[in-house]
Amino acid sequence: MAAEGGRYCAQIFGTISVAVINRQNPIVPFSGCLSRRACRRAVQNELTANFSTASEISVKNERKCKINDRSRNGHAFHRDISLFRSLPTNPPNMSVKLPPPLKKCATRRAVLSATVTCFTLLSALSAHASSWTGGTANWNSNGNPGWNGTGVPDAVGAAADFTTNGNSGFTATLVAPITLGSLSYGGTGNGAFTLSPGANSVTFNNGGSGALVSNFSAGTGSRISLNSASYVLADSLTIRNTNSNIVGTQSILTGGSTVISGTGNLILSNVSNSLSDGVISLGGNSTFTGNVLIEKGAVIYSSSSTGLGNSSNVITLGSAGNGSASLISTSNNTTATLANNIIVASGAGGTLLLGSNAAGTANTIYSGSVVLNGNLTVTSERTGVNDVRFTNVISGAGTLTTSGGGNISLRGANTYSGNTVIGGGQFTLTDNAQLTFVIGANGINNGMSGTANQTSILDGDFRFDLSGAAANGAWNIVDVASLNQTFGSTFLVTSTLGAFTEDTNVWTLINGATTYNFSEVTGILTATTVPEPGVSALVGVGLALVLFRRRR
């Protein structure tokens, strides 16, 4: 049978369906001579049956069918098609090349080979969203409760969508390891969704465009619980809460024995900055080696076994224009040590908060360095011999403010050039620790101040950077009127020009013609420079000596 008039010979092999990860049933191979209309209908039927999409197929010429994909689930395709960086908001145009017309279809078959202009047709179509219906069931259930015929998500880029089941909580239990591009939870009910992997792992991989766990529900008690298990970051992962209605519970929770491994970055974004309503809670002992961004909102962790990954991961607190962000330890009677280096972002436009809201008998320790590109507030409810302590160097140009009713101590050789504001609790600069004050023109410097006469114990060192100091001037280093400060027996004063010596609470440094004095009583540093004698003065002294000798 001839293939004139635009007729085609084609065969679709079942191997194509093997590459399509989300397909539930393999394509039934068919072969024969197809007209353009039959070609359109055959491919459209396969796409509709296997991907829940409607496709418009038009034959551009005798060698090519062009597939313009339009998803019935627009938001899901918008998310999954983010793989196609050149087409972030529109579905891609995909071309399926057909072999040239054959004159003897009975003796020869053509193979349908697909090529896609962005990446591949198969990977684009496989990333459709599956929607869970009903209550508790195993993950591989494609009925009700379960995925209800939308397909079991288990693929790079696969999207798993859950909806609140009224006010009742429900659980999806894994029976095998899975791979996801996104997991989302919506609806208006108050029930919690629990993912229970057991001994199985969950790999987050969205093909390089970033995986997502999202709570966008509206209920006051709805949350996502990721039970203790192994989670692997084969891609960056954003954990996001946009539900501002939650009261008295977490928005997203990882279990206490959770291990997050892999090499992806972790981004945490929360519409709520409350430490009690809608907080993102990270538990477990994670080992992933990507960096961490607290983009906005409240994130809590418990003890030193944190969900923040390897200690080499850099944590950035806040991001420009996104408002307040908090990273708070809730460990009560167990010491919580966070060894990661922390960068405090600039331009956030809100309060960036570190510390602890627990009042138990333990310390909260930040042993990594802290860079103040922006301003940082540290809070503590630790009392007695316990505190929130920073044992490494705090640098940068930002201001450090304390809050809460507990103890906070600095124990490193700090170089930050912003102010230190004691806004709550007791502040201690421990022995051998350091605060740096940059001295400029008369009256221009960073300093210490407080509110409501908060207690400050100063056992460490003040270091004055005098490289840009005026020859004469006065600088208010400690605002004694707003603080209840005590200079301890180990307190010292040093500078870029050398060490000061102390006599009855006044510290003095003489450098050439300039004398610097710092008073513990007034908290003020002064500089006084005696001008060197001019030429005329020397001539006058010489004439006086000559006249004196003549008289003799």
Check pLDDT > 80 for residue 323.
yes
Distance CA 38, CA 33 (A): 9
Check pLDDT > 70 for residue 123.
no
Four-point Cα dihedral 406, 412, 414, 420, nearest 10? 10
pLDDT given for residue 544 in this prediction:
57
Average pLDDT over residues 434-457: 95
Percent of the chain predicted with pLDDT > 90: 69
Confidence of residue 49 (pLDDT cuts 50, 70, 90): very low
Contact between 479 and 453 under an 8 Å Cβ cutoff? The reply is: no
**Residue written as token pair 């418990």:** 302
Confidence of residue 255 (pLDDT cuts 50, 70, 90): confident
Q: Is 355 exposed, middle or buried (0-12, 13-18, 19+ CB in 10 A)?
A: buried
| Structure tokens given for 234 | 């084969």
Distance CA 425, CA 404 (A): 6
Contact between 153 and 130 under an 8 Å Cβ cutoff? The reply is: yes
The string of DSSP codes covering 56-81 is: EEEEEETTEEEEEEEESSHHHHHHHG
pLDDT given for residue 307 in this prediction:
87
Q: Which amino acid is at 359?
A: A
Check pLDDT > 80 for residue 19.
no
Contact between 44 and 65 under an 8 Å Cβ cutoff? The reply is: no
Residue of higher predicted confidence among 499 and 80:
499
Contact between 367 and 343 under an 8 Å Cβ cutoff? The reply is: no
Task: Report angle CA 401, 405, 410 to the nearest 5 degrees.
Answer: 45
pLDDT given for residue 45 in this prediction:
53
Average pLDDT over residues 402-415: 97
* pLDDT one-digit tens code per residue, 179-209: 999 999 999 999 999 999 999 999 999 999 9
pLDDT given for residue 41 in this prediction:
56
Average pLDDT over residues 448-462: 94
pLDDT given for residue 531 in this prediction:
87
pTM: 0.77
**Residue written as token pair 């004159």:** 103
Check pLDDT > 60 for residue 94.
no
pLDDT given for residue 129 in this prediction:
87
* pLDDT one-digit tens code per residue, 327-357: 999 999 999 999 999 999 999 999 999 999 9
Confidence of residue 535 (pLDDT cuts 50, 70, 90): very low
Average pLDDT over residues 92-120: 35
* The total number of residues written for the chain in this structure: 552
Distance CA 42, CA 38 (A): 6
Mean of all residue pLDDT scores within the chain: 80
- Positive/negative CA dihedral, 53, 209, 75, 150: positive
* pLDDT one-digit tens code per residue, 165-186: 888 999 999 999 999 999 999 9
Least confident of 29-43, 265-279, 495-509, 525-539: 29-43
pLDDT given for residue 275 in this prediction:
94
pLDDT given for residue 29 in this prediction:
35
CA distances from 346 to 121, 320, 445 (A): 42, 6, 21
